[in-house]
Structure 1
């Protein structure tokens, strides 16, 4: 992808396989030997995100990665929504989370991916238009 990834996400990837929570939110990541397919899939997602960015009526325009400050996906859901990092030229530890809904709604969370998941599952985070996500693993990838 041409960038480092946030430390919290890399730690998550080292300790857990790809997984899905509550039959809803799928957290994917590259696995050894499958990195090329993961990058290819991410590039396909970036094409969709580019279209959504063009169609979005946002006060501050968003763009897909690799544009500086661009959006980079780290999870999806079975409803077609994207969970993205809003990248930051200062480095991956300064990236925040943006949720892009297929119905055109966008939300921003000022923390990282792992804290976002913890807050969403625990109920600390208002899920906006998302369903409640239980701490139930419903799919595990290799």
Structure 2
């Protein structure tokens, strides 16, 4: 698996985004979510608020005043969407859904109804990411930070990520 730490490369793309929460009670958040989270995502959240990238893609945050970017508010709803998709037929959403063993746990979404997730197999720092877009999923052998830097830098291609996502540069704004 390819790994990147949040501090390594994401700063190059995001710079300063105002509005980082003063403190994050990870024990409380992870207890409410029902799982520990990867350290690169935690590091990202310590440095950035929930952000909208290029006005299309939202990285959720566990401490966010807006329900749109609030990880703890949105995750149960996204998981319900996955379960609804599966209820139509196993082929509509063939992946296990968190908290099932190895289930997908969302961390982001885009305006085109794409959902970005971790595949929760093993230690959280070993979780890889994937994207579900209109009943199709692709998975990458990358951690959260490597995937983000890869799609922003053009080094990662996925049929489920909108083409030209970062062709004209990268902008990041706080989700409010």
Q: Which protein has the bigger helix share?
A: 2
| Structure 2 counterpart of 1:57 | 91
CA–CA distance in structure 2, aligned partners of residues 26 and 32 of structure 1? 12
Cα distance in 2, alignment partners of residues 138 and 118 from structure 1:
13
What TM-score comes out, normalization by structure 2 length?
0.69
- 1:117-132 to structure 2, matched below 5 A, reads 117-129=148-160, 130-132=162-164
Q: Decide whether the 8 Å contact of 1:121 with 1:132 is kept in 2.
A: no
Cα deviations by residue, 1:48-95 (Å, 9 ceiling, x for unpaired): 01233454538x94121000100100000011110011101x210111
Unpaired runs of 5+ residues, structure 1, are none
C-alpha deviations, 1:94-134, integer Å up to 9, x for none? 111110002x2210011111110100011111132422222
Contact 1:100/1:106 (8 A) holds in 2 = yes
CA RMSD of aligned residues (A): 2.4
Counterpart secondary structure, 1:5: coil
Quick one: distance in 2 between partners of 1:136 and 1:49?
29
1:73 paired with 2:106, answer yes
Question: Gapped runs of 5+ residues in structure 2?
Answer: 1-32
User: Per-residue deviation at 1:137?
Assistant: 2.2
Candidates 144, 149, 152, aligned match of 1:113: 144
Contact 2:118 2:128 in 1 (8 A): yes
Equivalent positions of 1:33-44 (< 5 A) are 38-44=71-77
Aligned residues of 1:71 and 1:84 also touching (Cα < 8 A): yes
Give deviations 1:13-33, integer Å, cap 9, x for gaps: 000111111121110111178
Q: Contact between 2:107 and 2:118, CA under 8 Å: does it hold in 1?
A: yes
